[in-house]
Structure formats: C-alpha cells, structure tokens
C-alpha cells in the first residue's frame, strides 16, 4: 500500500535528516513529529493488538485524514509486519514499531484523536484461553517487555502435588493479587518437582504482569537500567528462577544484587513500587540469607517434594504407562518415564512393570 505524502517535514535549524533514524535504523518518531508539526508530541501506547487487522483497516477508515506514510520494509515479509508511520491531519501521527502501536498528538481535545484511539482500542486481540509471561529484553531506549503467550495449563493441583498444596496455593494466590504490596515468595525443592509448572499455572490465574528475569539479567539487579525498568513496571510480579547465586548466604557478606532484592521486597523501593518477587531454587532453605526470611518480607514459602508412591501411581495409571512404583517420584520422572528408564542404574530400580 503506497501513499503520496501531501506534506513534507520542515525541520527547524539544528535538525539533520540523519537524526530521523537511530543507530539501529528505527524511526525516531519524536524527531519526525517535530519536523512535520514543529511541536513536541504527547503519546499513548497500545499493545496486544491484531496488527494485521489494524493495518488492513486503518488506511480505509482514515483515508481522507492521511497526509503521509512512511514504512521501513523488509522485502522478505508482509508490509503489515514492518514498522510504519501514518501522518494525519490535526497534528496526529500513528506509529507501529514491533508489537506496539503509538499515537502521537499535541492537541488532547481533538475529535480525530479520539476516533483514532477508539479505532485502535477496538483492534485489541480478543481474550483467548491463554496465559502469558513477560520476558525482559534490551531495546534501543533501554529494557522493555516481550510478551510470550502460551496455552493455560490445565492442572489438577491435588493430583500432581502432595497433600496440603491446595491450601498453600490459595494463600499465595490471594497475596499475589494484592495491589501495590511488596514481598518475597520462596519456592524450593529438588529439580523436577514442579516449581516451573506451578509458575506457568499462576500466569493463567493472576491479572497482573508477571515478568521473567533471565539468570544473566538477575546478576545485574543493581544496574541503573534495571532500576528504571522496575520503576516503569510497578505492581508487577518478578520471577527469578534458579536464584541460588543471588540469595544464598555467603559468610555474612551480601552482594549488591541481594541488597537490591531486600530493598525491593521490604525497603524504600518496596514501599513505592509494590513489586512481589517469586524466587525458585534447589538448595536447602537453611542456606538462604536470613534477612530474606524476615517476617514482613517473606510472604510465603513452600518446599516442593517428590510425590508419594500412592500419588505417583495414580498419575502413572492415567498415562497408561504400564509402570508402577513403590518409591517417591518427581513429576519430571513420572511424565518422562520412558526416557527415564533408559538411563536408570539396573541395580537401583524405583519403577517396574505392573
């Protein structure tokens, strides 16, 4: 789709055409807006849009309002997947970058602005039976979120976890859904006992942003860019998996990342940001820095254990594996029983045929 620009940007002294693009080749929309309208723009962002539908309908609905069009097109993909900008009357500009659409404007009380906002809002994806988690990524302006959707796990908590877990889950769910409250949740136990499975389940239960912090970034919690990011994502839930390196006590010496966790969960940042942290680890809870377990900071904790033989056998029968056990088994062992058998020591058989 091609539009002929009916107006051209007229840059004030000091602006250079090179400044229209950042070093990654993306549009510098603030500069372009000033070039067209000689004004500093306000902006409103939209995410979770059906971008293909947005692109195909926008030009038809606002055809007589469009003054110009710019696109950064990759010849290998459809144009709606590319980054593009519409320049409209009444000092409006609509930019699509990545997975987001941003409306730039200088006149807040404008009929056309409201029409564009209504149109864009209407293109939000219909809620499906999906959960999502946000992954922190690097972008030109700093740290940002990349939403990852996945099907909501259908879990029967009473079946796949030991007795007492449902009571813990109800308590934890209530705490996590509290608004603007900080705190720490410790999920620990040997690998394969279902900690990550449970976090995936929580993602489908909580109407809050859940942000996954990769291990490498977790080692930079005290970074100024991370502080800015947390300030922009107040009232979220931060998940740090395999967090031993951050939270294990080291002969009374605390690293700056641990200090940051303490501050977020029950310090000045905690009071102002309302961020809750879920930390998972495999080590014994007695190895954790005592300050993390202080009342007021530690909101909940649970040890994930291998399932009792009775519960394990119920799951084995449901999978029609033909196996039975007289010993405890982890979820990973149960749901990968065929692979497990290939590596078992013949002298130690926890599982046998029925």
Write out the E strands in 26-178. Answer: 42-46, 66-72, 83-88, 92-97, 100-105, 130-139, 142-151
In terms of pLDDT, which residue wins out, 222 or 314? 314
Phi, psi (rounded to 5 degrees) for 337: -60, -40
Average pLDDT on 23-34 reads 74
**What number of helices (H) and strands (E) belong to the chain?**
14, 14
- What is the rounded distance in angstroms from the CA atom of residue 282 to the CA atom of residue 189? 5
What does pLDDT average to over the chain? 84
> In terms of pTM, does the model score above 0.75?
no
Domain count, the chain: 3
Contact 69, 86 (CB under 8 A): yes
pLDDT at 137: 84
pLDDT at 71: 87
Report yes or no on 7 lying in a domain: no
Report yes or no on 160 lying in a domain: yes
| Per-residue pLDDT band at 127 (split at 50, 70, 90) | low
pLDDT at 257: 85
β-strand pairing of 100-105 with 298-304: unpaired
| Per-residue pLDDT band at 283 (split at 50, 70, 90) | confident
Percentage of the chain surpassing pLDDT 90? Answer: 48
**Domain endpoint, select from 91, 122, 153:** 122
Under DSSP, the state recorded for 20 is: G
Contact 146, 215 (CB under 8 A): no
Three-class DSSP labels, 249-288: CECCECCHHHHHHHHHHHCHHHHHHCCEEEEEECCCHHHE
In terms of pLDDT, which residue wins out, 169 or 151? 169
- Enclosing domain of residue 334: 309-353
Most confident of 23-27, 36-40, 344-348: 36-40
Residues 160 and 227 in one domain: yes
Residues 183 and 297 in one domain: yes
Residue 13 has pLDDT above 50, yes or no: no
In terms of pLDDT, which residue wins out, 345 or 69? 69
pLDDT at 96: 93
Report yes or no on 182 lying in a domain: yes
pLDDT at 6: 59
Judged by average pLDDT, the poorest of 17-31, 72-86, 313-327 is: 17-31
Do you know the residue count of the chain? 354
Under DSSP, the state recorded for 11 is: P
Contact 240, 217 (CB under 8 A): no
pLDDT at 31: 84
Contact 352, 324 (CB under 8 A): yes
For Cα atoms 102, 105, 108, give the angle at the middle one, nearest 5 degrees. Answer: 120
Residues 275 and 209 in one domain: yes
Residue 320 has pLDDT above 50, yes or no: yes
Residues 287 and 322 in one domain: no
pLDDT at 277: 95
Phi, psi (rounded to 5 degrees) for 181: -125, 130
- What is the rounded distance in angstroms from the CA atom of residue 288 to the CA atom of residue 285? 5
Helix axes 51-61, 111-122, angle to 10 degrees: 150
Residues 53 and 96 in one domain: yes
Report yes or no on 289 lying in a domain: yes
Phi, psi (rounded to 5 degrees) for 71: -140, 140
- What is the rounded distance in angstroms from the CA atom of residue 334 to the CA atom of residue 349? 14
Residues 156 and 246 in one domain: yes
pLDDT at 348: 40
Residue 343 has pLDDT above 60, yes or no: no
Residues 76 and 195 in one domain: no
Report yes or no on 153 lying in a domain: yes
Judged by average pLDDT, the poorest of 167-171, 270-274, 300-304 is: 270-274
Report yes or no on 5 lying in a domain: no
Residues 219 and 87 in one domain: no
Residues 296 and 335 in one domain: no
Q: Could you tell me which residues come within 8 angstroms of residue 216 by beta carbon, excluding any fewer than 6 positions away?
A: none
In terms of pLDDT, which residue wins out, 354 or 243? 243
**Domain endpoint, select from 122, 153, 168:** 122
Judged by average pLDDT, the poorest of 125-129, 249-253, 290-294, 311-315 is: 249-253
Under DSSP, the state recorded for 325 is: E
Q: Could you tell me which residues come within 8 angstroms of residue 201 by beta carbon, excluding any fewer than 6 positions away?
A: 152, 153, 155, 157
Residue 181 has pLDDT above 80, yes or no: yes
Average pLDDT on 106-128 reads 89
Average pLDDT on 25-54 reads 87
Three-class SS state of 187: strand
Report yes or no on 47 lying in a domain: yes
Residue 42 has pLDDT above 80, yes or no: yes
- What is the rounded distance in angstroms from the CA atom of residue 10 to the CA atom of residue 31? 11
User: Could you tell me the CATH number of the domain that includes residue 153?
Assistant: 3.40.50.300
Residues 165 and 300 in one domain: yes
């Amino acid at each position: 789709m091609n539009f002929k620009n009916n107006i051209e940007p007229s840059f004030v002294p000091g602006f250079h055409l090179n400044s229209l693009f950042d070093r990654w080749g993306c549009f510098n929309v603030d500069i372009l807006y000033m070039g067209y309208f000689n004004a500093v723009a306000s902006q409103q962002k939209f995410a979770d849009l059906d971008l293909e539908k947005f692109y195909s309908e926008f030009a038809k609905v606002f055809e007589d309002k469009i003054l110009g069009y710019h696109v950064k097109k990759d010849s290998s993909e459809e144009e709606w997947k590319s980054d593009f900008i519409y320049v409209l009357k009444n000092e409006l500009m609509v930019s699509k970058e990545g997975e987001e659409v941003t409306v730039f404007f200088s006149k807040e009380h404008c009929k056309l602005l409201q029409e564009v906002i209504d149109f864009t809002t209407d293109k939000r994806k219909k809620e499906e039976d999906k959960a999502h988690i946000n992954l922190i990524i690097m972008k030109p302006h700093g740290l940002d979120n990349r939403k990852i959707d996945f099907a909501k796990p259908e879990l029967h908590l009473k079946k796949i976890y030991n007795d007492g877990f449902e009571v813990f889950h109800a308590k934890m769910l209530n705490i996590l859904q509290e608004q603007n409250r900080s705190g720490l949740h410790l999920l620990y136990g040997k690998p394969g006992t279902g900690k990550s499975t449970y976090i995936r389940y929580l993602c489908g239960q909580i109407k809050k942003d859940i942000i996954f912090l990769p291990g490498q970034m977790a080692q930079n919690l005290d970074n100024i860019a991370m502080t800015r990011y947390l300030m922009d994502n107040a009232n979220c839930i931060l998940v740090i998996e395999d967090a031993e390196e951050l939270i294990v006590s080291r002969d009374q010496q605390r690293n700056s990342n641990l200090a940051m966790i303490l501050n977020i969960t029950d310090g000045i940042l905690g009071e102002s940001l309302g961020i809750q942290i879920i930390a998972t680890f495999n080590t014994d809870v007695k190895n954790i820095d005592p300050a993390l377990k202080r009342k007021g900071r530690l909101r909940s904790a649970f040890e994930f254990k291998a399932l009792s033989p009775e519960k394990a056998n119920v799951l084995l029968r449901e999978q029609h594996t033909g196996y039975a056990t007289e010993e405890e088994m982890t979820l990973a062992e149960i749901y990968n029983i065929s692979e497990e058998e290939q590596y078992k020591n013949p002298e130690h058989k926890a599982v046998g045929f029925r």
